[in-house]
Amino acid sequence: MSTSITERFNELFSEFEDCNEDEQKQKIPEINEIVDGMNMEEFESVFTKDLYDKMNKMIEEKKISIENTILLLKHVGYSRKLKNVINLYFDESSLSRRFEQMIIEEEKKKERKIEKLLADLCECYLLLNKWGSSKLFSICVPCLLKAALHKEGKKETQKEVEIALLALSCIYELFKMEQELFLDKITEIIKYHQEHHNLTPLAHQCAWKFLIDRLHKNKSLEEVIVNELHFSREAARELEELTRNVNWKKKEGEEMNKEEANEVLVIRRWIKTLEIYFLYCRLHNEEFTELFGFIVQIYGAAKDNHSVISNQCIYSLRNAAENRVVKVEDLLKGGAVDAVLEEIQRQTLDEVIVYKCLQFFKNVSERLKEEDEDEKKKVKRKSSKMEIFEKLEEEGYEDTITSFNETLNICNIRHYRALSLKFSDYLVNI
């Protein structure tokens, strides 16, 4: 009978207490390999509060060094984020509190401060915690931005930068932080990459995610994001590059090579970041149409075999349709209307996707019903209305909406934003 992956981990970790520091260091790569092979359920069953508390006790009893603890936990945190494991146990552990205290104490040392140790502690703390403590952000953010700044493109260095930026991207979007803490350095990192291409695709995405996540609480960032750093253009270019190397015909869960799996991971993160961007950005730019085009292209490629990604594409387009700075013409030209129309007519839809699609068409319908004094805008709106009307009529959209009568009631009960029960709210009329 074969040993399960969790049993292999537990056996190997139990041997730690009887090993000296060098022997432990030799075992860590083997443990990391086991961690990489875990699925989400295995990960959550192994990395519990009890395990973290046990590690904390081992540190107290000098059975494991801080250096080896960091070596182990940094990889665990990195793997956790790539697997998208929602694991709250570290937050509750005595080890988390130890790391908090060590970060604060190391920062206080000033001249005697060990920069590498502080960065390692910050990375572990952010990668393993669900929320983290806002009081530590003023220490962790400058420290990790400094670690990521202007590093050359060597493989070892790229990995270090990737981990630092991944850790920063874990900071929850609703936490407010002062722009002085991050703006100059994150702008430098992105601009330097635009010129020198020194970041890995994941590191580049993480840098953008960190910045876009700050947008909700810092509206003044819009000018930098849109006009100085050209986010829409960069996101479109990155999505185009990433999608070239993915075989979209492989079904979800089917074995991919490592490079392909990494591309899919980064694409998912980009689409999720776009979802946040369209939710909070209030500054229009001419690059929206191209960006919608690539979201639609990914939706089309992923819809049959990668539902998680295709669903995220629909979520992003729904947010874009609700955003008042996005023009209906942008959605039309980028193919967003066609994609959501195609999705709402698919046979296998869950209620969340139905909800998002209906929200999309409700927002488009509302926008087209608005009155406008500007004659040029009136003409453009009338043209858009006619084009959308013809698309919907040709595809039998009204019958599709009518068939969702029961679904509308379910969505009203289960979702935080009630949908209108008036079918005319989802229709575009001439």
pLDDT, tens digit only, all 430 positions of the chain: 346 899 999 998 988 888 899 999 999 999 999 999 998 889 989 999 999 999 999 999 999 999 999 999 999 999 999 988 887 789 999 999 999 999 999 999 877 778 999 999 999 999 999 887 888 999 999 999 999 997 776 778 899 999 999 999 999 887 888 999 999 999 999 999 999 999 999 999 999 999 999 998 888 899 999 999 999 999 999 999 999 888 888 776 666 777 788 899 999 999 999 999 999 998 888 889 999 999 999 999 999 889 999 999 999 999 999 998 999 999 999 999 999 999 998 877 788 888 899 899 999 999 888 776 677 778 888 888 899 999 998 888 888 888 877 677 767 766 656 678 788 888 887 7
For residue 85, the one-letter residue type is V
- What pLDDT, on the 0 to 100 scale, is given for residue 406? 67
CA distances from 59 to 68, 98, 217, 367, 429 (A): 10, 10, 39, 60, 69
CA distances from 378 to 154, 374, 387 (A): 55, 6, 14
Query: According to the model, what pLDDT value does residue 273 have?
Result: 96
The answer to whether residues 362 and 419 touch, using CB atoms and an 8 Å cutoff, is yes
pLDDT of residue 417: 63
**Dihedral through CA 24, CA 28, CA 30, CA 33, nearest 10?**
170
| Helix/strand/coil for 429 | coil
Q: Which two tokens stand for residue 50?
A: 């009890």
Please answer whether residues 352 and 315 qualify as being in contact, where contact means their C-beta atoms are separated by less than 8 angstroms: no
d(CA 120, CA 144) in angstroms, rounded, equals 9
Rounded Cα–Cα distance for residues 378 and 384 (Å): 10
Q: Do residues 276 and 215 lie in contact, with contact meaning Cβ atoms separated by under 8 Å? A: yes
Query: What distance in Å separates the CA atoms of residue 40 and residue 114, rounded to the nearest whole number?
Result: 34
* Positive/negative CA dihedral, 269, 275, 276, 278: positive
DSSP conformational letter for 425: G
The conformational region for residue 99 under phi > 0 = left, psi -120 to 50 = alpha, else beta, is alpha
**What would the DSSP string read from start to end of 158-227?**
HHHHHHHHHHHTTS-TT----GGGTHHHHHHHHHHHHHH--S-HHHHHHHHHHHHHTTTT-GGGHHIIII
Q: What is the DSSP letter of 311?
A: H
Q: What is the pTM of this model?
A: 0.92
What is the pLDDT, as a whole number, of residue 203?
96
Whole-number pLDDT of residue 88: 72
In angstroms, the CA 233 to CA 226 distance is 9
Q: What is the pLDDT of residue 1?
A: 33
Task: Give me 32's structure tokens.
Answer: 């990391």
Q: Which pair of structure tokens corresponds to residue 142?
A: 């400058």
